[in-house]
Amino acid sequence: MAYNTMHVPVICVASTHLFISFFLFIVVVFAAIETLKCEDVFSASRTASVSISAARDLRYLLYDVNPPEGFNLRRDVYIRMASLVKTLRKDGDDWVLVLPPWGRLYHWQSPDIHQIRIPWGEFFSLTSLQANVPVIEYEDFIAENGGLFIDQVLVLQNYAEGWTDGKWEEKADERPCIEKLLYTKDKQGNYRGWFWGYEETRARNVTCLSAQGHASIMAPVLQKNFTGNSVMLDRAETLLHDHYAGKDYWDTRRSMVFAKHLRLIGDDFRAKYLNSTDDRDHTLYNEDWTRMQAKPGSAKGGPYVGVHLRRKDFIWGHRDDVPTLKGAAKKIRSLMKKHKLQTVFVATDAEGEELRELKRLLPDMVRFEPSKEDLELLRDGGVAIIDQWICTHARFFIGTSVSTFSFRIHEEREILGFDPKTTYNRFCGDSEKQCEQPTHWKIVY
């Protein structure tokens, strides 16, 4: 087969020495720039709030998500919280969103790597987030707040009785906790909990709150009922999007620009192993997301099929919308033929025997597989982002049914201006009857 004559190495392990020095150089330079920029943005926002400080008190909104949820659903919950903060700021105090440190995620299991208390700045551009809504890292919150106390934790839950009369109604009420509380009272009467691995953090009070509705139904509750300086919403995924795929959704989504060093590593990989550059592929990216408005269909993408093949918990349940590896390989070959592409880039969480089988089935696939040293720097989250970034730039993309990892790639491609036909595609189960393809969500500017 023609694939066997490809010049692409079976496994692309970048030259460690070069990679490390390149990586460190960028990290240092950009970390410095980011810090400067962040301080600028931040002091500007502070100055603004000082001038009207009599009317607007500074208040902090913190949040966390159900522990088993992964990286990409958490990115979705961020959008809901950003929307709530915008609502809170419209009338009332000077609310700031505190970014929950990354860590202890079920999928981030690479051994011997520090994977907790990771600031958002390692994965996302803080200046870009700041241009949408005021945000700060948790450690800055500790410093500014002058201590380790969170005034009030509200553990969100559904209503024990479900929807009364089968009627949907938006509401929030203090209620007894339904599940066992993951916070325990200490000798001083304060609450200890996970708090992203910050063992010294304590909450003064923890209450359960049944809530059903959009994120902004919490605004009056936070403005009137809980007046502490810092309020944390735990299980924040309980709240729905204010307006899914509306303008505000997309503003926040567009502001979630990946950290520059991760984009550069992805770009470097594209150039080296996939013959893909922004100029040729019409995927020019504007560092300032507020000025980025690619014409739909303008992006061409690099000469490869991008694949996100989700395994692990997606196959353990024997779901019928997820293909076998054989089924996936067959589909990939047919897509390469159809689109006249000789290269395939595969992002997957497959491991062990599954990964070996995949390599047997697709010996010429290109993968981003960092060395152990690089993995220590990038961590599992950074590698996931680089995989997503490379899939984002493919001429044609196919993902896995209802995977939020694939959904985030769809959005990133939408931002770059790809024709939706090349983006909203998913694998079908080997014997899936009705294989509905993903929904196209058009950007609202």
Ligand X SMILES: *[C@@H]1O[C@H](CO)[C@@H](O)[C@H](O)[C@H]1NC(C)=O
Which among ligand X, ligand GDP, Mg ion, none contacts residue 310 (Cβ within 5 to 8 A by kind)? ligand GDP
Cβ contacts of 20-29, under 8 Å, gap ≥ 24: 20/373, 20/374, 20/377, 22/268, 23/261, 23/265, 23/374, 23/377, 24/377, 26/260, 26/261, 26/264, 27/261, 27/377
Q: Is 172 in the site for ligand X (CB under 6 A)?
A: yes
- Choose among Mg ion, ligand GDP, ligand X, none what residue 247 binds, the Cβ cut-off being 5 to 8 Å by kind: none
Q: Is 221 in the site for ligand X (CB under 6 A)?
A: yes
> How does DSSP classify residue 317?
T
Q: Is 20 in the site for ligand X (CB under 6 A)?
A: no
Q: Is 71 in the site for ligand GDP (CB under 6 A)?
A: yes
Question: Is residue 205 within the footprint of ligand X (CB under 6 A)?
Answer: yes
Kindly state the tokens that stand for 211.
């809530």
CB of 310 to Mg ion, least distance (A): 9
Contact partner, 134, from ligand GDP, Mg ion, ligand X, none, Cβ < 5-8 Å per class: none
Task: Kindly tell me which residue out of 138, 345, 405, 424 binds ligand GDP, with binding defined by CB under 6 A.
Answer: 405
Q: Does 349 bind ligand GDP (CB under 6 A)?
A: yes
The count of other CB atoms within 10 Å of the CB of residue 367 is 21
Q: Is 430 exposed, middle or buried (0-12, 13-18, 19+ CB in 10 A)?
A: middle
In whole angstroms, give the CA distance from residue 313 to residue 151. Answer: 37
Four-point Cα dihedral 220, 225, 230, 236, nearest 10: -60
Binds 275: which of Mg ion, ligand X, ligand GDP, none (CB < 5-8 Å by kind): ligand X
Residue the block writes with tokens 């970034």: 389
- Find the farthest-apart pair of alpha carbons in the chain and give their distance in angstroms, rounded: 73
Say if residues 37 and 207 touch (Cβ distance below 8 Å): no
Site for Mg ion in 51-90 (CB under 5 A): 70
> Which 3 state secondary structure label does DSSP give 131?
coil
SS (H, E, C) 61-95: EEECCCCCCCHHHHHHHHHHHHHHHHHHHHCCCEE
275 is a contact residue toward ligand X (CB under 6 A) = yes
| Rg (the chain; Cα; Å) | 23
Query: Residue 174 or residue 436: which is nearer to ligand X going by CB?
Result: 174
Among Mg ion, ligand X, ligand GDP, none, the one that 205 touches (CB under a kind-dependent 5 to 8 A) is ligand X
173 is an interface residue for ligand X by CB under 6 A: yes
Please classify residue 418 by burial: count the beta carbons closer than 10 Å to its beta carbon, then call 0-12 exposed, 13-18 middle and 19+ buried: buried
Taking the complex as a whole, the smallest distance from the CB of residue 285 to ligand X amounts, in Å, to: 19
One character per residue 356-395, x = contact with ligand GDP (rule: CB under 6 A): ------------------------x--xx--x--------
Stretch that binds ligand X, among 11-19, 112-120, 168-176, 392-400 (CB under 6 A): 168-176
- For the bound state, the minimum distance from the C-beta of residue 176 to ligand GDP, rounded and expressed in Å, comes to 30
Query: Does residue 224 belong to the site contacting ligand X (CB under 6 A)?
Result: yes
Helix, strand, coil shares, percent, the chain, to 5: 45, 15, 40
Smallest gap from residue 389 Cβ to ligand GDP (A): 11
Q: How far is the CB of 420 from ligand GDP (least distance, A)?
A: 21
Residue 166 CA to residue 405 CA, distance in Å, equals 33
3-state class (DSSP) for residue 323: coil
Q: Among all residues, which ones are annotated catalytic?
A: 69
70 binds ligand GDP, rule: CB under 6 A: yes
Contact string 329-348 vs ligand GDP (x = CB under 6 A): ------------------xx
How many other C-beta atoms can be found within 10 angstroms of the C-beta atom of residue 441?
Answer: 17
Q: Rule CB under 6 A: is residue 174 a binding residue for ligand X? A: yes
Which residue stretch of 191-199, 203-211, 355-363, 380-388 sits at the interface with ligand X (rule: CB under 6 A)? 203-211
Give the chain's count of helices (H) and strands (E). 13, 14
Q: Does 225 bind ligand X (CB under 6 A)?
A: yes
Task: Please list every residue from 115 through 174 that binds ligand GDP, using CB under 6 A.
Answer: none
- How many residues touch ligand GDP (CB under 6 A)? 18
Three-state DSSP at 373 gives helix
Residues 6 or more apart whose CB falls under 8 angstroms from that of 112 comprise none
Contacting residue, 49, 110, 158, 207, with ligand X by CB under 6 A: 207
Interface region with ligand X, contact rule CB under 6 A, candidates 30-38, 80-88, 89-97, 172-180: 172-180
Do 279 and 270 meet the contact criterion of CB atoms below 8 Å apart?
Answer: no
Binding residues vs ligand GDP (CB under 6 A): 70-73, 107-108, 308, 310, 347-349, 380, 383-384, 387, 403-405
Binding residues vs ligand X (CB under 6 A): 172-174, 205, 207, 209, 221, 224-225, 275, 280
Binding residues vs Mg ion (CB under 5 A): 70
